[in-house]
Amino acid sequence: MTVSSDHPKANAQRTLISVDAMGGDQGPAIVVAGCSESAARNADISFVLHGPAETLEPLVAKRPELAGRCIVRDASGVVTMDDKPSNVLRNGKDTSMWSAIESVRTGEASVAVSCGNTGALMAISMIRLKKMPGVNRPAIAVLYPSTGPQGFNVMLDVGADVRADADDLLRFALMGKSYARNGMDIERPRIGLLNVGTEEHKGRTELKEAFELIRDAADESEYDFVGFVEGSDLSGDVADVIVTDGFTGNIAIKTGEGTATLIGNGLREAFQHSIWSRFTALLAYGSLGRVKKRFDPRRVNGGVFLGLNGTVVKSHGAADATGVSSAIKLAARLAESEFTNRLAARVATAPPVKEIEE
Give how far Cα 342 sits from Cα of 51, 93, 166, 316, 348, Å: 31, 30, 23, 26, 10
Residue selected from 28, 51, 159, 176 as contacting a copy of itself according to rule CB under 8 A: 159
Residue selected from 90, 276, 352, 357 as contacting a copy of itself according to rule CB under 8 A: 276
What gap in Å lies between CA 261 and CA 263, rounded to an integer? Answer: 5
Backbone φ/ψ region at 310: left (φ over 0), alpha (ψ -120 to 50), beta: left
Residue selected from 88, 194, 327, 334 as contacting a copy of itself according to rule CB under 8 A: 194
Strands (E), the chain: 15-20, 45-51, 70-74, 111-114, 139-145, 152-156, 190-194, 224-229, 241-243, 303-306, 311-314
Q: Is residue 253 a contact residue for a copy of itself (CB under 8 A)?
A: yes
Give how far Cα 221 sits from Cα of 131, 144, 216, 279, 345, Å: 20, 23, 9, 55, 11
Q: Max Cα separation, the chain?
A: 66
In degrees and rounded to multiples of 5, residue 54 shows phi and psi of: -65, -25
**Position 194: which residue type?**
L
Q: Is residue 93 a contact residue for a copy of itself (CB under 8 A)?
A: no
Q: How many CA atoms lie within 13 A of 314 on its CB side?
A: 23
Q: What is the closest distance, in whole angstroms, from the C-beta atom of residue 236 to a copy of itself in the complex?
A: 6
Residue selected from 127, 267, 318, 344 as contacting a copy of itself according to rule CB under 8 A: 267
Strands (E), 146-265: 152-156, 190-194, 224-229, 241-243
Binding-residue pattern over the window 101 to 140 for a copy of itself, x denoting contact by CB under 8 A = ----------------------------------------
Q: What is the closest distance, in whole angstroms, from the C-beta atom of residue 199 to a copy of itself in the complex?
A: 9
Q: Is residue 81 a contact residue for a copy of itself (CB under 8 A)?
A: no
With contacts defined by CB under 8 A, name the span among 9-17, 129-137, 156-164, 209-217 that binds a copy of itself: 156-164
Q: What is the closest distance, in whole angstroms, from the C-beta atom of residue 210 to a copy of itself in the complex?
A: 14
Binding-residue pattern over the window 201 to 220 for a copy of itself, x denoting contact by CB under 8 A = xxxx----------------
Residue selected from 64, 149, 266, 351 as contacting a copy of itself according to rule CB under 8 A: 266
Q: How many CA atoms lie within 13 A of 173 on its CB side?
A: 35
Nearer to a copy of itself, 277 or 349 (CB): 277
Q: Is residue 146 a contact residue for a copy of itself (CB under 8 A)?
A: yes
Q: Is residue 234 a contact residue for a copy of itself (CB under 8 A)?
A: yes
Count of positions on this chain that bind a copy of itself (CB under 8 A): 58
Give how far Cα 329 sits from Cα of 19, 31, 47, 286, 351, Å: 12, 13, 12, 26, 33
Q: Is residue 91 a contact residue for a copy of itself (CB under 8 A)?
A: no
- Cβ pair 56, 83 in contact under 8 A: no
Q: What is the closest distance, in whole angstroms, from the C-beta atom of residue 197 to a copy of itself in the complex?
A: 8
Residues that bind a copy of itself (CB under 8 A): 84, 145-147, 159, 162-163, 194, 196, 201-204, 230-236, 244, 246-248, 250-263, 265-267, 270-271, 273, 276-277, 279-281, 283-284, 286-288, 290-291, 294-295
